Structure 1
């Protein structure tokens, strides 16, 4: 409808043209109102409420404002630093291992020598579709010291059985194995999409110039995949920093707090000890750590010309 037609319609209805135009301009805001209401009710309010709770202690009507006491307690809490160190150890080993395997899988699945590639791609991606609790329970059965499948296989080849979930070192290894199994295929599919977007002419030109396989990989594949590599590194790092399901189901944070992560420690304070003020402070500390990695990501990607 043109401006003239709008004014004529407004004149026929006895309403001022300006008022009709203002109403039409407000239509987009009316349309986004449900989404905005949902965001305020289910996102903004809980975030602000958690911030207030982190500055208090107690529960219900007995809640008392204590300022930054919970954050001061956090800095001097050895269990928090233990949880942070456990999370860092898992992250340092698991993320590079998982992404390296994902890249190898993506290169293999992108190869023209592999037959039934669609079937293999589906098989690689299937573990990521498994529910977190479901595959945690599955690994707890596989890694059981007495009747687990993995120890049964080790016994067949003459290797002494391992207490996968009862030893601090092997418990962390078990968490890393579970995470790698579940998320490698997911990242492989992301890398595969990136590989398929690289122009074949680049490889053909490099082959004409005499570049070998490794040279093409280093000079073409890696630079072209750099944004995707950065994305998966940051997303995987942030996901590991928020690690909860696997240690909760497999080890419960044990043995001797060897697999206690920040998110699991937050859960314990909030829903086992009902210290919601301190749990909220842990949540905000974790949010700051995650935000720090997000800023690093933006700077790394922003620096690429």
Structure 2
């Protein structure tokens, strides 16, 4: 309890109080809701929020769809060495985020990156992955998907292995094809896991920091600036701790609301 109070509860309460002050460090003074009013009129905050939202809308469905396909493929009776495949797809999840970002910053170089060399080898033009706003955001999506797809696939695989085989056999006797069995048996059985991973992936993407910070530093032209990066800049580059705390609590509120809505949807469907 002492450890929790010192390292968790105290910083949370102190940062909340700090969000109602302006200035930096000990020079800050109470100023009510000034930081939150400033937040509403800050174009960079809305840019960061829009960037985060765009990457979330693309990355989360793409990653979870790939994860589900990988899980179904590994769970297939035609696949051997399942343990090896499961280990292989899970390995990126245990790779450090900074190491992942550094690795992809080399792979995605415009002039001599391995990805562009591969594109040129098959007759496609090179892409300025980290220098154009659209491709920079897609690069972050690519890195996130590479890092977390296997983690979610292993969760889905565990769910697939818990579905009784008798259900599939009965469906086959009734003449249900592979697609029908997938939509009528697999998806409903995995629905709690699907919603669980959607909630976790949404929360994680809203707090996105490491990958864009290492890959692009928020550029080009703030195209990959996220809310967490903007919080970091205000707190540790400009030392405006009150405003950074206000951004943190605005992000906390957004995460809480989206998480509550998604959990509510899951609860209603389970009844």
**Aligned position for 2:195:** 230
Q: Is it true that 1:178 corresponds to 2:136 in the alignment?
A: no
Whole-Å separation in 2 of the counterparts to 1:60 and 1:126: 42
Verify: 1:272 aligned to 2:237, yes or no.
yes
Using the TM superposition, give the Cα deviation of residue 215 of structure 1 relative to its aligned residue in structure 2, in angstroms: 1.2
| Residues matched between the structures, number | 270
2:211 aligns with: 246
8 Å contact 2:64–2:149 — kept in the other structure? yes
Q: CA deviation at 1:42?
A: 1.4
Pairwise CA RMSD:
1.0
Deviation at 1:146, TM superposition (A): 1.4
- Conserved? CA contact 2:199–2:263, under 8 Å: no
CA contact (8 A) 2:98 2:214 kept: yes
The 5-angstrom pairing of residues 110-129 of structure 1 reads 110-129=75-94
Q: Is 1:61–2:18 an aligned residue pair? A: no
Match of 1:99 among 51, 64, 87: 64
1:25 alignment counterpart? none
Residues 41-60 of structure 1 aligned to structure 2 (within 5 Å): 41-60=6-25
In the alignment, the residues of structure 1 paired with residue 227 and residue 27 of structure 2 have an alpha-carbon distance, to the nearest angstrom, of 27
The TM-score, its normalising length taken from structure 1, stands at 0.87
- 1:205 is matched with which residue: 160, 166, 170? 170
Q: 1:191 aligns with which of 156, 171, 188?
A: 156
Higher relative contact order (CA 8 A, sep 6+): 2
Q: In 1, distance between residues paired with 2:204 and 2:147? A: 13
In structure 2, the gaps of 5 or more residues are none
Alignment TM-score, normalising by the size of structure 2: 0.97
Q: Which moved more, 1:141-150 or 1:155-164?
A: 155-164
Q: CA deviation at 1:301?
A: 2.3
Which residue, 24, 40, 44 being the options, matches 1:75?
Answer: 40
SS at match of 1:256: coil
- Is the contact made by 2:119 and 2:125 (CA closer than 8 Å) also made in structure 1? yes
Deviation, structure 1 residue 299: 0.9
The match for 2:224 among 259, 273, 290 is 259
Q: 1:169 aligns with which of 118, 131, 134?
A: 134
Please give the alpha-carbon distance, in whole angstroms, between the structure 2 residues aligned to 1:180 and 1:117: 21
- Following superposition, the deviation at residue 171 of structure 1 comes to 0.4
2:25–2:239: 8 Å Cα contact kept in structure 1? no
Aligned with 1:136 (options 74, 78, 101): 101
